[in-house]
């Protein structure tokens, strides 16, 4: 193995979005340090501007068809990478927009907040391109580093401290597992690059190594049984951070999972399909049933997130090209509905200083806009047409039925009905119950923008999904030969 890192000018082009974002976050940091008396909201808009510019750059890459690999294939820019980078950048922009009001409540370190968010986003953008286990480890830790700080950002709030500590201890434990798993896999195969592992023989060391890696990534996406940190961390962390944590790392980690299983472990497909069937069933059922008992909206969304990611696992359990398309599309629908719901939670929380579902009583009378938006987002999460979530669920189910995973399909369908219940309970509080305090709630302009983007995404993906489906299909072209669908009746 050579230790030269060849980088030419055209190679740097592939890194342009990341380089741009790095420079931009240095600029934001510099502005924050030099202009101490500037309104922090301007800093937020500056950050959003940089993120949107990155987004435009990535969309340009997608249109121009820029593809390539760098540094001995450790960094790739392919369809999946660009898809997930756009996914992460959109999430970051929406989170930054919905943070503007929330950050006002911090007394210190307002500027650093935006920098840390962008830094985590940068780490996750690298994750989306990670093609070997070493870069998986480095980028994963890089992105999590920012979150460790962000989760504990409310210095005077005990819950936030608890959340930070819990997240940190379990996160470090997961990092340890990941490192140990990587060393086992390297010991068995002598390589770290996914594409070089395709034809390796099975062994116990390899199996244990990959199970540890799955556990570490399972921690990131929060599937059962690696979910225990999720509810407390989601509840304690500042709400915009929760929103970010609930979507962006899931996307980035899914990119790694898809790559790892579709490329490195393609030959062991019959084995890992069973693993993901089990994970999907347990996650969906556990998340949905426990969500029924929640009294706090952030905890409710946390458990609903566990169930949603269980739905995503159905796509992985299908283990086909169609499965990966469905995962990509599903995550896109989840992005808008989930971030939108959190934006409403932030909007309500900013005004009434509470996240208890009880305090959503009569929200429709206090702010028809917030209530209607929340209604749309929750129904999309529940999978009700004509909203995005329905198409996402249907797509995932189509992928599952092509592989004749009937048990998974039935569990998934039953879970739709279960989840309908707790989403409707929130709808009931907002629309049917009378408010204890009927004063109207106002929504600030940046938050309103974030919510409108969420609504637009939820409706657009529901009513006219064809371009997005085509995009997902094109992005995963490289997985075309992963598995041939079972013939009907076969």
Enumerate binding residues for other proteins (CB under 8 A): 292-293, 325, 358, 364, 368, 379, 384-386, 390, 394-395, 397-398, 401-402, 404, 409-410, 413-414, 416-417, 420-421, 424-425, 427-429, 431-433, 465-466, 469-470, 473, 488-489
Chain-centre distance for alpha carbon 479: 21
Compute the Cα dihedral for 297, 299, 300, 302 and give only its sign: positive
Could you tell me if 306 and 228 are in contact, meaning their C-beta atoms sit under 8 angstroms apart? Answer: no
Could you tell me if 40 and 110 are in contact, meaning their C-beta atoms sit under 8 angstroms apart? Answer: yes
Nearer to other proteins, 113 or 369 (CB): 369
State the minimum distance, in angstroms, from the CB of residue 360 to other proteins.
Answer: 11
Nearer to other proteins, 184 or 379 (CB): 379
Give the C-alpha separation, 54 to 39, whole Å: 24
101 membership: H or E segment, kind and range: helix 79-103
Tokens of 320: 């086909």
State the minimum distance, in angstroms, from the CB of residue 288 to other proteins.
Answer: 13
Nearer to other proteins, 17 or 231 (CB): 231
Nearer to other proteins, 243 or 291 (CB): 291
Nearer to other proteins, 240 or 462 (CB): 462
State the minimum distance, in angstroms, from the CB of residue 425 to other proteins.
Answer: 7
C-alpha distances in Å from residue 481, one per residue of 303, 322, 401, 454: 35, 11, 19, 35
Give the C-alpha separation, 194 to 238, whole Å: 36
Tokens of 33: 């340090």
Nearest residue to 53 via CA among 82, 85, 29, 17: 17
Tokens of 61: 């890459």
Nearer to other proteins, 22 or 433 (CB): 433
Could you give the 3-state DSSP secondary structure of residue 106? coil
Could you tell me if 473 and 329 are in contact, meaning their C-beta atoms sit under 8 angstroms apart? Answer: no
Nearer to other proteins, 212 or 426 (CB): 426
Nearer to other proteins, 270 or 488 (CB): 488
Tokens of 386: 């004509």
Nearer to other proteins, 127 or 376 (CB): 376
Give the C-alpha separation, 22 to 17, whole Å: 9
State the minimum distance, in angstroms, from the CB of residue 67 to other proteins.
Answer: 22
State the minimum distance, in angstroms, from the CB of residue 428 to other proteins.
Answer: 6
State the minimum distance, in angstroms, from the CB of residue 87 to other proteins.
Answer: 19
Nearer to other proteins, 75 or 369 (CB): 369
State the minimum distance, in angstroms, from the CB of residue 438 to other proteins.
Answer: 13
R_g of the chain, CA atoms, integer Å: 22
State the minimum distance, in angstroms, from the CB of residue 473 to other proteins.
Answer: 6
Q: Please report the DSSP string for 195-248 in residue order.
A: GGSTTPPP-HHHHHHHHHHHHHHHHHHT-TTS-TTHHHHHHHS-HHHHHHHTTH
Which distant-in-sequence residues (6+ apart) come within 8 Å of 82 by Cβ?
Answer: 58, 61, 62, 475
State the minimum distance, in angstroms, from the CB of residue 97 to other proteins.
Answer: 22
Could you tell me if 93 and 54 are in contact, meaning their C-beta atoms sit under 8 angstroms apart? Answer: no
State the minimum distance, in angstroms, from the CB of residue 322 to other proteins.
Answer: 9
Query: Residue 434, by phi and psi: left (phi above 0), alpha (psi -120 to 50) or beta?
Result: beta
């Amino acid at each position: 193995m050579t230790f030269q890192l060849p980088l030419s000018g055209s190679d740097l082009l592939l890194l342009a979005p990341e380089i741009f974002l790095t420079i931009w976050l240095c600029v934001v940091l510099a502005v924050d340090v030099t202009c101490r008396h500037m309104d922090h909201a301007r800093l937020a808009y500056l950050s959003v501007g940089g993120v949107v510019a990155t987004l435009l750059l990535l969309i340009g890459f997608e249109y121009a068809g820029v593809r390539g690999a760098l540094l001995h294939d450790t960094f790739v820019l392919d369809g999946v990478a660009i898809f997930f980078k756009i996914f992460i950048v959109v999430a970051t922009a929406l989170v930054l927009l919905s943070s503007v009001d929330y950050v006002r409540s911090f007394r210190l370190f307002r500027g650093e907040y935006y920098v840390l968010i962008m830094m985590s986003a940068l780490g996750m953008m690298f994750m989306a391109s990670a093609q070997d286990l070493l870069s998986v480890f480095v980028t994963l830790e890089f992105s999590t580093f920012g979150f460790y700080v962000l989760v504990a950002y409310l210095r005077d709030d005990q819950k936030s401290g608890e959340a930070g500590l819990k997240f940190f201890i379990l996160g470090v434990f997961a990092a340890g597992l990941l490192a140990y798993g990587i060393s086992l896999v390297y010991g068995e195969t002598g390589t770290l690059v996914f594409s070089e592992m395709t034809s390796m023989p099975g062994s116990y060391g390899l199996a244990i190594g990959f199970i540890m890696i799955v556990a570490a990534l399972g921690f990131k996406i929060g599937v059962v049984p690696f979910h225990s940190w999720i509810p407390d961390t989601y509840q304690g962390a500042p709400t915009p951070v929760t929103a970010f944590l609930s979507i962006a790392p899931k996307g980035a980690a899914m990119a790694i999972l898809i790559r790892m299983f579709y490329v490195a472990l393609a030959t062991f497909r019959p084995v890992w399909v069973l693993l993901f069937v089990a994970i999907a069933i347990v996650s969906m059922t556990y998340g949905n049933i426990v969500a029924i008992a929640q009294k706090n909206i952030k905890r409710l969304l946390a458990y609903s997130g566990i169930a949603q990611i269980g739905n995503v696992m159905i796509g992985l359990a299908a283990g086909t090209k169609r499965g990966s398309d469905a995962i990509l599309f599903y995550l896109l629908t989840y992005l808008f509905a989930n971030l939108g719901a959190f934006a409403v939670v932030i909007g309500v929380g900013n005004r009434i200083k509470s996240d208890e579902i009880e305090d959503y009583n009569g929200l429709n009378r206090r702010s028809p806009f917030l209530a209607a938006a929340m209604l749309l987002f929750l129904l999309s999460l529940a999978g009700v047409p004509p909203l995005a979530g329905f198409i996402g669920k249907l797509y995932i189910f189509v992928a599952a039925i092509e592989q004749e995973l009937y048990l998974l399909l039935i569990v998934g369908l039953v879970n739709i009905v279960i989840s309908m219940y707790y989403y409707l309970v929130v709808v009931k509080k907002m629309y049917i119950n009378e408010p204890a305090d009927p004063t109207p709630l106002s929504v600030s302009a940046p938050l309103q923008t974030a919510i409108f983007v969420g609504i637009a995404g939820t409706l657009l993906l529901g009513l006219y999904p064809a371009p997005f489906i085509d995009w997902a299909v094109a992005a995963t072209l490289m997985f075309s030969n992963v598995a041939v669908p079972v013939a009907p009746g076969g």
